[in-house]
Amino acid sequence: MKRITLVITAFCALLLPLLPMAQEKKDDLLKEARELFEPIGKPPGKITDNDITPAKIELGKMLYFDPRLSSSGLISCNTCHNLGLGGDDGLPVAIGHDWKKGPRNSPTVFNSVFNAAQFWDGRAADLKEQAKGPIQAGVEMNSTPELVVATLKSIPGYKTPFEQAFGKGDTITFDNVARAIEAFEVTLITPDAPFDRYLKGDEKALTDQQKRGLKTFIDQNCASCHSGVNLGGQSYFPFGLVTKPEAKLLPTEDKGRFAVTNTAGDDYVFRAAPLRNVAITAPYFHSGQIRDLRDAVTVMATTQLGAKMNDKDIDDVAAFLNSLTGKKPVVSYPDLPPSTTKTPVPVQ
């Protein structure tokens, strides 16, 4: 018995020096992650030229769900950015007015407040500007500022919400419609993902596989484009930085940011997609042609990094990306005021 005790004691003595090393290795990964990423905190209380107030948020929610902002009376913001799904529509490209197909995949509205600019090409500086785009786009809601204002003014039930949000007077304007929608969208954040809890110090929030995936994500330089609180959404890069993707992923007619800047170097340049909730926002890329998250990881490794990840690495990174799924806000469907005989007749 004494001999067995001595053997166990000696074995333990050999292990003891390794324990601090293992702990240090864990701490190093967390430290490295904290240098690159941030957990989701509270939404901002003010955006440029827009104080975020409860009255504005409530009005914005009504407008977000109101299909009467479209000329057909059928399409709302929630149609393409469905809050019951991943804040998108799950389609390769958006389907809008008269069943027309849009040119690109609908990005998620969740956490969009953390992006440096809106749309795949960054043509909208903020959520106010973004809100105006789809309303006026012929392939989306197919309306005009004048028609939107006329419609809302014809509905008595909108008078008080606009006054509560913007004060007395002629406050039903297209600009205020956009400000209200922005105020509501600011609240559409998804905190408390496993990765958020990990960044805050709960090392058990991620599985061992997710930690391996995080390490691979960092070591393969994925974080050079996908970092910060939204893991992307801040900068622009050519799609096909190293290797040009197949034609279905990169349609030649869509030159990306070039249409905004008219600069040759911006051909096929797009905003680095924010990766929050990426596991529930398929299909992927601006063309919406990839539905499997593993396939998306493989495409990015090849086209952007020039790397060939093995199956284990791809599985690990995909597992890590699943840890970015946060808690969606609970949004009750608003009770919209009824139309009147003065409300413009929808376009059929």
- Output the DSSP codes for 271-336: EPPP-TTGGGS-SBTTTT-B--HHHHHHHHIIIII-----HHHHHHHHHHHHTT--PPP--PPP-P
Q: What is the mean pLDDT of residues 62-67?
A: 98
pLDDT above 70 coverage of the chain, percent? 93
pLDDT-derived band at 47 (thresholds 50, 70, 90) equals confident
Q: How far apart are CA 231 and CA 277, in angstroms?
A: 10
Q: What is the mean pLDDT of residues 213-224?
A: 97
Q: What is the pLDDT of residue 46?
A: 80
Residue range 76-125, pLDDT digits in tens: 999 999 999 999 999 999 999 999 999 999 999 999 999 999 999 999 99
pLDDT-derived band at 308 (thresholds 50, 70, 90) equals confident
CA 116, chain centre distance (Å): 12
Q: What is the pLDDT of residue 12?
A: 53
Q: What is the pLDDT of residue 16?
A: 57
Average pLDDT, the chain: 93
- Radius of gyration, CA atoms only, the chain: 24
Give me 82's structure tokens.
């469905």
pLDDT-derived band at 45 (thresholds 50, 70, 90) equals confident
Q: What is the pLDDT of residue 7?
A: 46
Whether residue 18 has pLDDT greater than 70: no
Whether residue 126 has pLDDT greater than 80: yes
Whether residue 212 has pLDDT greater than 50: yes
Are β-strands 236-238 and 269-271 bridged in parallel, bridged antiparallel, or unpaired? antiparallel
Least confident window among 24-28, 166-170, 243-247, 252-256: 24-28
pLDDT-derived band at 48 (thresholds 50, 70, 90) equals confident
Residue 64 burial by Cβ neighbours in a 10 Å radius (0-12, 13-18, 19+) = buried
Q: What is the mean pLDDT of residues 317-338?
A: 97
Q: What is the pLDDT of residue 3?
A: 57
Catalytic residues: 140
Residue range 251-306, pLDDT digits in tens: 999 999 999 999 989 999 999 999 999 999 999 999 999 999 999 999 999 999 99
Q: Between 31 and 9, where is the model more confident?
A: 31
Q: Report whether 44 contacts 31 (CB < 8 A).
A: no
CA 159, chain centre distance (Å): 32
